[in-house]
């Protein structure tokens, strides 16, 4: 699994290593050591010389990690062109892409480690509790939102965006449902509000349109705004707990 490992490579060795592997592009490459990083594109940044960990994946994505946090200090998603060159006797890695136009430049000052790992195969990964699954479940079992509800459409395109669920209630009123897999905020309320407005505008004037925000919970300010707009909230969880599943007769 370790294809190649260099300890304290010289600039020339490192450049050769990087060029070789970025060409074949069949390994995950890592470089650790002192470097200086600049970025120019959607924004512009510079990082002082320090110890960083670089990761260069097969798909051409680059990330440079500092000691804290999930997010890399600098990065570049799926780069068009990655080149390793020698400048003034030092190895420089440049990762550029167009659309948007941006470049990350890494000046390798004192590299301790460079390695190529065989991490290629994509492997099965499944996730439960996404909004898409919530939507599928509710489309099959709209009674979880409210008895008597009939789903007319999913992902209905309106002029202002896609409506998660479009339905009719027991009394024939149209219902716009906005789903959130996590706690609903102000944002979700306004999203729902503008969908409801769009639907009302399209329907005959006397048609009644309800708006329901379905989420596991809602922030207090958002709940107040929701109330003010005469919209409704319905508690729905993305991941049913064991007891909920039992109570619902195993609908999920």
Chain residues in the site for its own copies (CB under 8 A):
1-2, 7, 28, 30, 32-33, 42-53, 55, 57-59, 61, 63, 65-70, 72-73, 75, 77-78, 112-113, 117-130, 159-161, 181-182, 186, 190-191, 194, 221, 225, 238-239
Token pair 């000691």 in the structure block, residue: 67
Contact stretch for DNA (CB under 7 A) within 27-35, 70-78, 141-149, 168-176? 70-78
Partner whose binding site includes residue 52, from its own copies, DNA, none (CB under 5 to 8 Å by kind)? its own copies
**Interface pick for DNA out of 19, 30, 137, 219 (rule CB under 7 A):** 219
Q: Residue 122 corresponds to which tokens in the numbers above?
A: 């994509």
Q: How far is the CB of 118 from its own copies (least distance, A)?
A: 7
Q: Which residue lies nearer to DNA by CB, 109 or 239?
A: 239
Q: Are strands 90-97 and 81-87 parallel, antiparallel or unpaired?
A: antiparallel
Residues 6 or more apart whose CB falls under 8 angstroms from that of 139 comprise 151, 154, 165
Q: Which helix (H) or strand (E) holds 234?
A: strand 232-235
**CA–CA dist 202, 174 (Å, integer):** 12
Are 98 and 23 spatial neighbours (Cβ–Cβ below 8 Å)? no
Partner whose binding site includes residue 219, from its own copies, DNA, none (CB under 5 to 8 Å by kind)? DNA
Q: Which residue lies nearer to its own copies by CB, 67 or 204?
A: 67
Q: How far is the CB of 58 from its own copies (least distance, A)?
A: 5
Maximum alpha-carbon separation in the chain: 78
**Interface pick for DNA out of 20, 25, 41, 117 (rule CB under 7 A):** 41
- 57, with CB counted inside 10 A (0-12, 13-18, 19+), is middle
Are 14 and 91 spatial neighbours (Cβ–Cβ below 8 Å)? yes
Q: Residue 165 corresponds to which tokens in the numbers above?
A: 């669920």
78 binds DNA (CB under 7 A): yes
Residues 6 or more apart whose CB falls under 8 angstroms from that of 204 comprise none
7 binds DNA (CB under 7 A): no
Q: Residue 26 corresponds to which tokens in the numbers above?
A: 């069949």
Number of residues that bind DNA (CB under 7 A): 42
Contact stretch for DNA (CB under 7 A) within 2-10, 13-21, 123-131, 208-216? 123-131
3-class state of residue 12 by DSSP: helix
166 binds DNA (CB under 7 A): no
- Smallest CA-to-CA distance from 77 within 93, 92, 99 is with 99
Q: Which residue lies nearer to its own copies by CB, 172 or 221?
A: 221
Which residues form the interface with DNA (CB under 7 A)?
A: 39, 41-43, 45, 61, 68-71, 74-78, 98-99, 102, 104, 127, 129-132, 157, 160-162, 164, 178-179, 181-183, 185-187, 191, 219-222
């Amino acid at each position: 699994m370790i294809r190649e490992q260099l300890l304290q490579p010289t600039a020339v060795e490192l450049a050769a290593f990087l060029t070789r592997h970025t060409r074949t592009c069949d390994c995950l490459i890592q470089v650790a050591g002192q470097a200086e990083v600049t970025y120019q594109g959607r924004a512009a940044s510079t990082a002082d010389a320090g110890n960083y960990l670089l990761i260069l994946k097969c798909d051409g994505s680059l990330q440079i990690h500092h000691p804290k946090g999930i997010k890399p200090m600098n990065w570049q998603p799926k780069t068009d062109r990655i080149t390793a060159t020698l400048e003034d006797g030092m190895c420089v890695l440049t990762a550029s892409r167009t659309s948007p136009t941006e470049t990350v430049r890494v000046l390798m000052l004192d590299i301790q480690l460079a390695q190529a790992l065989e991490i290629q195969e994509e492997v099965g990964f499944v996730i439960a509790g996404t909004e898409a699954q919530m939507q599928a479940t509710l489309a099959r079992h709209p009674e979880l939102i409210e008895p008597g509800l009939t789903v007319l459409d999913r992902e209905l395109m309106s002029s202002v965006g896609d409506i998660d669920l479009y339905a009719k209630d027991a009394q024939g009123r149209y219902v716009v449902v906005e789903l959130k897999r996590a706690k609903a905020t102000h944002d979700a309320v306004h999203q729902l509000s503008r969908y409801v407005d769009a639907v009302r505008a399209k329907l005959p004037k006397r048609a009644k349109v309800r708006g329901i925000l379905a989420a596991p919970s809602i922030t207090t300010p958002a709940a107040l705004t929701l109330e003010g707009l005469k919209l409704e909230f319905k508690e729905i969880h993305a991941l049913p707990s064991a007891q909920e599943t039992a109570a619902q007769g195993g609908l999920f």
